[in-house]
Amino acid sequence: MTLKECKKEEKADREFQKKFKFEGSINVLTQMMVDPAATEKRGGGKNLPLRRGEILDVIQFTNQEQILCRNSQRKYGYVPRAVMLHL
């Protein structure tokens, strides 16, 4: 990883912490998959865009309805628990 890529990731992580009021280090708790039968959603605001069968890193179990996740493009957002499957 080049220095430029490393700086870019650090900046994205700082922006995530500010936007979601997340304190502490970002640790991946587990990985989950978006249900292949779920409808794809564009996301927006604080919601993460969803693609069927996509593997997401779980950052935080926020409440009974949503999970804070990160996708493969290092984008962060909330995902409904109803469309997530354990690996």
Quote the pLDDT of residue 61: 92
- Contacts of 75-80 with CB under 8 Å at 24 or more apart are 75/48, 75/49, 76/16, 76/19, 76/20, 76/48, 77/43, 77/46, 77/47, 77/48, 77/49, 78/46, 78/47, 78/48, 79/34, 79/47, 79/48, 79/50
Quote the pLDDT of residue 1: 67
**pLDDT per position as a tens digit, 25-75:** 889 999 999 999 888 888 888 999 999 999 999 999 989 999 999 999 888
Quote the pLDDT of residue 79: 94
Whether the Cβ atoms of residue 13 and residue 63 lie closer than 8 Å to each other = no
CATH number at residue 41: 2.30.30.40
When divided into structural domains, the chain yields a total of 1
Quote the pLDDT of residue 4: 86
Note down the domain range covering 36. 3-86
